[in-house]
Amino acid sequence: MEPDLWALGGIAVLAAVTFTLAARGAGSARTTSDFLAARRTVGVERNATAISGEYLSAASFLGVAGLVLKDGVQALWYPIGFTAGYLVLMLFVAAPLRRSGAYTLPDFVQARLDSYRLRQLATVLVVLIGWLYLVPQLQAAGLTLSTITDMPYWSGIVVVAVLVLLGVLGGMRAATLVQAFQYWVKLCAITVPAFVLCLVFLDGDSQHRRGLDEAVPPVFERDTTVRLSIDVRLQVTEPVWLRVEGGTGAGVLGDDPAPGPSSVYVSPGEYPVSAGTELRFPAGAPVPVVDDAVAENRSWLLPQDDGARGLFETYSLILATFLGTMGLPHVLVRFYTNPSGHAARRTTLFVLALLGAFYLFPTVFGLLSRFHAPQLLVTGRTDAAVLQLPGAMLGNWAGGLLGAITAAGAFAAFLATSGGLVMSVVGVLSDDVLPGRTWDVRLISLGAAAIPAALALSAMGRDIAQSVGLAFAMAASTFFPLLVLGVWWRRLTAAGAAAGLLTGGSLVLAAVVLGMFVADTQSWWATVLQQPAAITVPIAFLVTFVVSRATRHRVPPGTARVMLRMHAPDRLGFVHDRLESSGGEGGQPHARGRHHR
């Protein structure tokens, strides 16, 4: 039980510090506009740190290492894509978007295309993407708590949902501080254990490093007992002796139908094994892996050995992540806290460096887990690699302490990202559904957090990074064409934008729904449904373009002026902010905000 207490202690400390910061910051938020946009008084460095803190989600902190453990070098496209998304954002939309004065994507849509119906459509999509992104975060929270303690799966979801709600009620000003703090928590929580574990690894004997470029599965370093908590299909590539206890595993894995614990010889093949089964492996036994993981070390080490289907999958992922980041709801909101387009660009550059520094380390965890925590390949819960590796490598108090640090980092990831997402969903909902007063914002927050929590409770997710990938695909297939064409192409029309949003959105949604019914994960169909972006993004882009051309007589009359505002340098002073022009929501005289013009 000792490691559990360590980890819970780490989480408790993190939560306590977070709330102290949030409570102190909340004192200075007075009006609705303070609440939402921090009055743009936040410096570039702090803002960049907060953006990174908000952006590094469970998918980055836990998911990347888990996928590296499972899929090997191919999984590295996730961290690349998560970072490159900001680069593309910076190249094409950061400064103009900031100057457009839009606080949310629906704001941008209305400012640029002057259509209220399109604004409503954008609102629906923002909420949809926000929830698609929130559900895996909450599922990861459930996984984390149930991994490090014996608490049930739902408890983690409820804990994070409640913490996020409390955090959101603290307001954006506090969120900037809290999220900047959480970036450093996450960076430390991944670098410190990574360095220590690397030293331990290099210090240890190198016997199991030998097999890395051979076509053999990883092996258990010592006698290991693995308890399955979900049904899995195990692929056995090398015959293995093991003992089976409980569940239906005994009948399936071995010929010996005798009840009770007994050693069985399992020959190569695929075996469905039910939850509750306990498998005991002797030291040196080859590891059977879940059916969607790469079984052999050699193909795990090498990229692109899946032929054309693998190539399609990689490019689809690249398109989704590179182009989807700019359409994520919590990303744009953060950019509004920059004082100018110029600052928006500099902030993004800073963000690129901060993200790059972080993403060097999950890979280390994934690599080391392949040697030291192969039991995760049997249980299928590879997302827990970052949490369990320290304990698996160092059984003593040091492992417990490092485990506590990574658990606290994981919680920082859930809290920061979920908080940002809930906040941005609340932002669009309070604009378009209930005209905003601070009171309403609180009520909407409750709804915005409760619905994804209910969705997360209803199902155990697949890999976190992959589920998040769908939110990216959705964003890339809807808001990417709208934003890029909206910023750079004068002839975009509301009809074209609406057609693009509807086409891209419904195609990805169809892929998500159909994907639930495809069982064979290795077929072309399953690949396309899991990574639809390579098909949906070009289609959405094309539809937006073609319909805009077809309705060219309906280009909004104010287009030239909007273009001028977006592209003219900040010094000319065209920036016309939403909060200032509307005279402050809730009818407050908005005296202090005026000076920022």
Partner 1 sequence: MTTGRDSEATDPRVPRRKRVVLADRRGTREIPRTMMELEEQNSVGEALVSHLMKVQLRSSLLLAGIIAVALCGLPVLFWLVPAVAEATVFGVSLPWLLLGVLPFPFMVLIGYLSTRDAERHEREFLRMVEK
Binding test (CB under 8 A) with partner 1, winner from 13, 17, 87, 200: 87
Binding test (CB under 8 A) with partner 1, winner from 488, 518, 551, 586: 488
Question: Please, what's the b/e burial string for 408-417 (b: 16 or more CB within 10 A of its CB; e: otherwise)?
Answer: bbbbbbbbbb
Give the DSSP per-residue string, 347-403: HHHHHHHHHHHHHHHHHHHHHHHHHH-THHHHHS-GGGHHHHHHHHH--SHHHHHHH
**CB 269 to partner 1: min, Å:** 29
Return d(Cα 505, Cα 478) in angstroms, integer: 6
Judged by CB under 8 A, does residue 194 bind partner 1? no
Kindly tell me which of 554 and 596 has the beta carbon lying closer to partner 1. Answer: 596
Give the DSSP per-residue string, 85-104: HHHHHHHHTHHHHHHTT-SS
Judged by CB under 8 A, does residue 450 bind partner 1? no
Kindly tell me which of 291 and 305 has the beta carbon lying closer to partner 1. Answer: 305
Binding test (CB under 8 A) with partner 1, winner from 233, 309, 462, 576: 576
Residues facing residue 225 across a β-bridge: 280
Phi first, then psi: what are they for 435, rounded to 5°?
A: -55, 135
Judged by CB under 8 A, does residue 345 bind partner 1? yes
Judged by CB under 8 A, does residue 215 bind partner 1? no
**CB 263 to partner 1: min, Å:** 37
Judged by CB under 8 A, does residue 95 bind partner 1? yes
The answer to whether 60 and 362 have CB atoms below 8 angstroms apart is yes
Query: What tokens were used for 226?
Result: 């693995």
| Of residues 551, 542, 540, 541, the one with CA closest to residue 491 | 551
Q: Which amino acid is at 547?
A: V
Judged by CB under 8 A, does residue 369 bind partner 1? no
278-281 sheet: strands from edge to edge = 224-227, 278-281, 240-245, 262-266
Binding test (CB under 8 A) with partner 1, winner from 346, 370, 372, 381: 346
Query: What tokens were used for 296?
Result: 């052999």
Judged by CB under 8 A, does residue 597 bind partner 1? yes
Return d(Cα 35, Cα 22) in angstroms, integer: 12
Residues in 20-59 that interact with partner 1 by CB under 8 A: none
Query: What tokens were used for 8?
Result: 């819970």
Kindly tell me which of 447 and 573 has the beta carbon lying closer to partner 1. Answer: 573
Binding test (CB under 8 A) with partner 1, winner from 166, 280, 568, 586: 568
- Determine if residue 265 is left, alpha or beta; phi over 0 gives left, psi from -120 to 50 gives alpha, anything else beta: beta
Kindly tell me which of 326 and 441 has the beta carbon lying closer to partner 1. Answer: 326
Judged by CB under 8 A, does residue 184 bind partner 1? no
Site string for partner 1, 455-474 (x = CB under 8 A): --------------------
Judged by CB under 8 A, does residue 209 bind partner 1? no
Judged by CB under 8 A, does residue 126 bind partner 1? no
Judged by CB under 8 A, does residue 357 bind partner 1? yes
**CB 180 to partner 1: min, Å:** 19
Kindly tell me which of 220 and 359 has the beta carbon lying closer to partner 1. Answer: 359
The three state secondary structure string of 119-146 is: HHHHHHHHHHHHHHHHHHHHHHHHHHHH
Site string for partner 1, 289-328 (x = CB under 8 A): ------------xxxx------x--xx--x----------
Kindly tell me which of 284 and 583 has the beta carbon lying closer to partner 1. Answer: 583
The answer to whether 144 and 411 have CB atoms below 8 angstroms apart is yes
Residues in 229-258 that interact with partner 1 by CB under 8 A: none
Tell me the angle at which helices 172-203 and 341-372 cross, rounded to the nearest 10 degrees: 30
CA distances from 231 to 166, 286, 378 (A): 35, 20, 11
The answer to whether 455 and 135 have CB atoms below 8 angstroms apart is yes
Judged by CB under 8 A, does residue 583 bind partner 1? yes
Return d(Cα 27, Cα 586) in angstroms, integer: 19
Return d(Cα 172, Cα 176) in angstroms, integer: 6
Binding test (CB under 8 A) with partner 1, winner from 360, 434, 443, 513: 360
Kindly tell me which of 275 and 568 has the beta carbon lying closer to partner 1. Answer: 568
CB contact set of 307 (below 8 Å; sequence gap of 6+): none
Judged by CB under 8 A, does residue 84 bind partner 1? yes
Stretch that binds partner 1, among 240-248, 441-449, 534-542, 575-583 (CB under 8 A): 575-583
Judged by CB under 8 A, does residue 595 bind partner 1? yes
Q: How many CA atoms lie within 13 A of 591 on its CB side?
A: 0
Residues facing residue 224 across a β-bridge: 281
| Of residues 80, 155, 575, the one with CA closest to residue 356 | 80
Q: How many CA atoms lie within 13 A of 311 on its CB side?
A: 2
How many residues sit close enough to partner 1 to count as binding (CB under 8 A)? 56
Site string for partner 1, 62-81 (x = CB under 8 A): -----------x--xx--x-
Judged by CB under 8 A, does residue 207 bind partner 1? no
Binding test (CB under 8 A) with partner 1, winner from 210, 549, 592, 594: 594
Binding test (CB under 8 A) with partner 1, winner from 5, 16, 23, 91: 91
Judged by CB under 8 A, does residue 92 bind partner 1? yes
Return d(Cα 382, Cα 369) in angstroms, integer: 9
**CB 522 to partner 1: min, Å:** 18
Residues that bind partner 1 (CB under 8 A): 73, 76-77, 80, 83-84, 86-88, 90-92, 95, 301-304, 311, 314-315, 318, 342, 345-346, 348-349, 352-353, 355-357, 359-360, 363, 488, 560-561, 563-564, 567-569, 571-574, 576, 580-583, 589, 591, 594-595, 597
